[in-house]
Chain A
Amino acid sequence: GENVEQHPSTLSVQEGDSAVIKCTYSDSASNYFPWYKQELGKRPQLIIDIRSNVGEKKDQRIAVTLNKTAKHFSLHITETQPEDSAVYFCARQAYNTDKLIFGTGTRLQVFP
Chain B
Amino acid sequence: NAGVTQTPKFRILKIGQSMTLQCTQDMNHNYMYWYRQDPGMGLKLIYYSVGAGITDKGEVPNGYNVSRSTTEDFPLRLELAAPSQTSVYFCASSYKGQGTDTQYFGPGTRLTVL
Contact = CB atoms under 8 A, between A and B. Distances in A.
B: contact size bracket: 20 to 34
Interface stretch (A13-21, A62-70, A78-86, A92-100): A92-100
Contacts of A32: 101
Contact of A100 (B41, B56, B103, B104): B103
Contact of B90 (A34, A44, A99): A44
A89 B37 CA distance: 12
B107 interface: yes
Given A34-B102, A93-B101, A43 B41 contact: no
Interface in B69-114: 90, 96, 101-108
Given A34-B101, A43-B90, A49-B102, A98 B41 contact: no
Interface string A25-46: 0000000101000000011111
A: contact size bracket: 10 to 19
A105 B42 contact: yes
Nearest to A104: B42
A44 to B, nearest CB: 5
Nearest to A99: B45
B43 interface: yes
Contact of B48 (A34, A45, A98, A104): A98
15 contacts: A43-B90, A43-B106, A43-B108, A44-B90, A46-B104, A89-B43, A99-B45, A99-B48, A100-B101, A100-B103, A102-B42, A102-B44, A103-B42, A105-B41, A105-B42
Interface of B: 31, 33, 41-45, 48, 50, 56, 58, 90, 96, 101-108
Given A100-B101, A102-B44, 5 more contacts: A43-B107, A46-B103, A49-B101, A89-B43, A99-B45
